[in-house]
Amino acid sequence: MSTEVRVSAPAKINLYLAVGPLRADGFHGLATLYHAVGLYDDVVLRPASRSSMTVSGDGVAIDGVPTDESNLALRAVRALGAHHALDLATAIHVHKRIPVAGGLAGGSADAAAALVGADTLFELRTPRAVLLELAGQLGSDVPFCLNGGTAIGTGRGEIVTPVMTRGEYWWVVVPDDQALATPAVYAELDRLRTAGRAPEPAGPGGAWQDIPDAMLGALRAAHVADLASHLHNDLQVAALSLRPDLAGRLTGLETPPSASLVSGSGPTTVHLCEGPEHAEAVRDHLLTLPGIEVAAVVTGPAHGARVIGSQVGGRP
Ligand code: C5P
C-alpha cells in the first residue's frame, strides 16, 4: 500500500454562467460552461492514526482556509470513508496556488483531489460514477474539478457533460487579495434582480438554460474571437456591485485582451488572449495597473484532479 499519494487539481473558470431563479434548497439553477485552466493546487495524502489538515501557499494568502473538520478536502475523505463504511484517517497537506475564495473553485479542486487521492491511497477502486456522486454532494463545482477539460454544468452546477474542444486557449488570470464569499455574491444578484437593477434570467433563445450554440462551435473550431464575443457571466454585475473597483480591469485596457470577465463569483478576473505573446503583453500591462500585484498566464483546457505521484514504503 502507498504511504503517500500526491494529486494535482486545476482551477476552473466559467466561460459562460447563466444564473436561474433561486431554488427551494437555497441554490440557484445554473447553465454554465466550465473550463479548467493550468493553475493547480497540490494535495498530498498519507494514512494517519487520525485525520488532520495542513496548508501552505505559493504566493497565495492562506488564512481563509479552514484546517478543522469543516475543510472540504477532509469532508471529501470522510464522505468516501462513509460510502465504504471505513474510517479513512488521513493526513492531508494542501499546497495552494489557486487563490482562496477567488471564484476559481480552489476549495472544490482540493476536495476533488482528496477524493481521487484517498481512493488511490486506500486502494478502494471506487467507480467513477460514485466519485462523481460524492463530489456533487460536497459542492456544486467539485464534479467538474474531478473531470477537468471543458464541460457544461447544469442543476446547481454539479451535473457535468464534457464538450469537445480543439486547441489551447491562452488566459491571463488576475487574482485579488480581497476574497468574495460566493453566497454573498449570489445574494447580491438576487437583490439587484429584485430591485430591477440586474436582468432577470435570460439566455440566447429566451431560455436561461441554453448555452449559446455559437460558443460550442467556437470551441470546436478553436476560434478565439468568436469565443471572446460570447463570454458571459451573470454573477459579474453582482461581483462588481460589491467591488466596483474591479471594473477598471475589465474594460478600456491599453493593451486589450480579446475579452475579459469576472471568474465565477469573483473577485478574480480572467482575460482571454489570442496566443502566448498576446497573453504576455496583456499580463505586463495589467501588472502596471494600481492594485494588481499578481497576473499569471495560463492555458486551458487542463486535466482534472489526477494522481501525479505516490510512494510505497514499509516493506523490506
Ligand atoms: O455548492 P457550493 O458549496 O460551492 O455553494 C456555495 C454557496 O453558493 C451556496 O451555499 C449558495 O449560497 C451559493 N450557490 C448558489 N447556487 C449555486 C451554487 C452556489 O446559490 N448553483
pLDDT in tens, 261-304: 999 999 999 999 999 999 999 999 999 999 999 999 999 999 99
Relative to beta strand 296-300, strand 269-273 is unpaired
Beta carbons of 199 and 236 less than 8 angstroms apart: no
Q: Is the per-residue pLDDT at 46 higher than 70?
A: yes
What SS3 class is residue 188? helix
**Does residue 301 have a cis peptide bond before it, meaning omega lies within 30 degrees of 0?**
yes
DSSP state of 245: G
Atom of ligand 1 nearest to the CA of 140: 1
* Mean of pLDDT values over 4-25: 96
Which whole-number Å values give the CA distances from 307 to 5, 130, 143, 254, 315, in the listed order? Answer: 7, 18, 16, 41, 22
* Mean of pLDDT values over 193-204: 86
C-alpha cell at 256: 486589450
C-alpha cell at 299: 492555458
Nearest CA to ligand 1 atom 12: 183
CA dihedral of residues 261, 106, 137, 6 (deg, nearest 10) = 140
Give distance in angstroms: CA of 140 to centre of ligand 1. 7
Give distance in angstroms: CA of 253 to centre of ligand 1. 32
DSSP state of 303: B
Q: Is the per-residue pLDDT at 1 higher than 90?
A: no
Which among 17, 182, 191 is the best mutation to test ligand 1's pocket, defined by most ligand atoms within 8 Å of the CB?
182
Q: Is the per-residue pLDDT at 16 higher than 50?
A: yes
Q: Determine the pLDDT at residue 78.
A: 98
Of 209 and 7, the structure prediction assigns the larger pLDDT to 7
* Mean of pLDDT values over 203-228: 91
Q: Is the per-residue pLDDT at 315 higher than 70?
A: no
Give distance in angstroms: CA of 92 to centre of ligand 1. 25
Atom of ligand 1 nearest to the CA of 28: 16
Q: Residue 192: which residues within 8 A CB-CB, separation 6 or more?
A: 198, 237, 238, 241
C-alpha cell at 48: 494517519
pTM, 2 dp: 0.95
List strand residue ranges (DSSP E) for the chain, in order: 2-22, 28-47, 52-57, 90-96, 150-154, 159-162, 169-174, 232-233, 259-262, 269-273, 296-300, 306-312
Which whole-number Å values give the CA distances from 17 to 13, 54, 231, 262, in the listed order? Answer: 10, 33, 9, 10
**Does residue 267 have a cis peptide bond before it, meaning omega lies within 30 degrees of 0?**
yes
- The whole-angstrom separation of Cα 101 and Cα 211 is 26
| Residues within 6 Å of ligand 1 by CB | 27-28, 30, 139-141, 156-157, 182-183, 186
Of 30 and 179, the structure prediction assigns the larger pLDDT to 30
Which among 100, 180, 186, 190 is the best mutation to test ligand 1's pocket, defined by most ligand atoms within 8 Å of the CB?
186
Atom of ligand 1 nearest to the CA of 30: 21
Give distance in angstroms: CA of 62 to centre of ligand 1. 21
pLDDT in tens, 80-128: 999 999 999 999 999 999 999 899 999 999 999 999 999 999 999 999 9
* Catalytic machinery residues: 12, 141
Give distance in angstroms: CA of 301 to centre of ligand 1. 24
